[in-house]
Structure 1
């Protein structure tokens, strides 16, 4: 999906954990501006999870510029059991290559 990406998007740690947050911030700079083809999809800071362009377009999710803690779509707070593609995409797995 993003061949030049060197780190996996991941949730933002609490800022009180300064060392962990500093490391995350350096990683975040590599993926914060990634967008899908329509230009609206992005990885959220709070979860490091993909928010699709159609979710933004239909107002299920806020735009990248409007995101803040607590503004993600509801399913980000419920787990990913009903989201069949994200974990595999994030980890470089696919149905054709399940053990990448």
Structure 2
């Protein structure tokens, strides 16, 4: 079956258009993957900060548990500014 010259003229550029659309779809997919990777890195950094906060809170609670009960308020009240509390806040009492 032969194709007529008019149908060939109508097909001119169709393959190029299909290739450009394919490249566009591929590029959008790559951009989506890059966005997911960036979100994953942010989440990883946030979880690291949360882990440090949990470690610090556990260390402060450990200091409070081992201290004398009568000294808890004078030493660890943030408004009174006891020395163990100030050491903890400034990082001197932390093992990080």
Q: Normalized against structure 1, the TM-score is what?
A: 0.24
Instruction: Indicate the structure whose relative CO is greater, using CA pairs within 8 Å and at least 6 residues apart.
Output: 1
- Look at both structures and tell me which one has the larger radius of gyration over its CA atoms: 2
Q: When you count helix as a share of all residues, which structure comes out higher?
A: 2
Q: Normalized against structure 2, the TM-score is what?
A: 0.24
